[in-house]
Amino acid sequence: MAYNNQDRYLETEVLHADPIKLIAILYRAAIEATSAARRHLQAGEIRERSRQIMKAWEIVGELSRSLDHTRGGEISRSLGEMYTYLQRQLLDANRLQIDAPLAEVEHLLTTLQEAWSAVSVPKNPAAEQYEPVSCMA
C-alpha cells in the first residue's frame, strides 16, 4: 500500500501522541468516516458508503475497548453504552441505507469530541517539585 503525505502525517501523529490525544484522533477519524458515509449515501455509492460505515463502526469499537471499567466507574459504563448504541445506529444505517442514523451518529460523536477536547490531564505535583540530588556533595 502506497502512503501519501496525509497517511505519513497521521502515522507520525499517532506514534507521538499521548493517550488523551489518541482518543481525540479516534473521534476525529470516526466523524470523518461517518461524514464520508453520508456523502456516499447521497451519491448512491453503495460500496464506498458501506466501507466508510464499517470504518466508523471499527473505530467506535476501538473507543469502547479503550475504556477502563475498573477506574472509570459510571462514566465508563455510560460511554460503553453510548458506543454500543452508536455501533447499532451505524449498522442500521448500512442495512436500511438511510441518512438519519448516520446524522445522529455524526452529531453524537461531535458532541463527545467537543467534551473530550475539554479534558486535560492533571499534572503530577510531585514531579513538578522534583529537584535532583547532587552526588557531588
- State how far the alpha carbon of 93 is from the alpha carbons of 33, 37, 135, in Å: 13, 10, 65
pTM: 0.79
For the cut 90, the answer to whether the pLDDT of residue 45 exceeds it is yes
Q: Give percent of the chain with pLDDT exceeding 70.
A: 75
Note whether residue 55 is domain-resident. Answer: yes
Determine the residue type at 16: H
User: How confident is the model over 79-131, as pLDDT tens digits?
Assistant: 999 999 999 999 999 999 999 999 999 999 999 999 998 876 555 555 555 55
Tell me, yes or no, whether 31 lies in a domain.
yes
Indicate whether 136 belongs to any domain.
no
Q: How many domains does the chain have?
A: 1
In a domain, 122, yes or no: yes
Structural domain including 41 reads 5-128
pLDDT for res 18: 81
Ordered alpha helix ranges (H), 16-124: 19-43, 46-65, 69-96, 100-117
CB 64 within 8 A of CB 78: no
Measured distance CA(58)–CA(87) in Å, rounded? 8
Q: List the CATH number of the domain containing 47.
A: 1.20.120.340
Q: Is residue 134 in a domain? A: no
